[in-house]
Chains A and B, each alone.
Chain A
Amino acid sequence: MIARLSHFLVTVGRNTQLLLIEVGRLSNLARHFLYWTFAAPLAGKQGLRRHSFVQQLIFMGNESVFIVFLVTASVGAVLALQAAYQLRQFGAVLYTGALVSVSMTRELGPIVTSIVIAGRVGASITAEIGTMKVQEEVDALTTMGIPPVPFLVVPRILAIAIMLPCLTALGDLIGIFGGYLIGISGLGLDSNLYLRQTFEALIPKDILTGIAKSFVFAILIGLISTYKGLSVEGGAEGVGRATTESVVLSIIAIIVSDCICTGVFYYIFP
Chain B
Amino acid sequence: MVGGRKSRSAGPVPPSTTLILDNGANTIKAGFVTDEKTDEPRVIPNCLARDRHKKVYIGSDLEKCKDFGEISFRRPVEKGFVVNWEAQKEIWDHEFFDDKAPQKCDPSETRLVLAEQPNSLPALQSHCDQMVFEEFGFASYYRGIGPAFNAYQDVQDMFRTPRAPDPIVELPAEVVLLVDSGYSHTTVTPILQGRPLHPAIRRLDVGGKLMTNYLTRLLSVRHFDMRNDTYIVNEMKEAACYVSLDFKGDLEKTWKGTRGERRESYLTGAGIAKDYVLPDSHTRFHGVVRDYEPAATSKARRLAGGVSTEDIITLRNERFAVPEVLFHPPDIGMRQPGLADLVMQSLSVLPVGLWPGLLANMVVVGGNALFDNFIQRLQTEILERVPDDCIVRVARPANPITSTYYGAANFAKHEHVEKLAVTKQEYEEHGAGWVARRFAAGLGVDS
Chain B associates with chain A: no
Tell me the B residues contacting A by CB distance below 8 Å: none
Tell me the A residues contacting B by CB distance below 8 Å: none
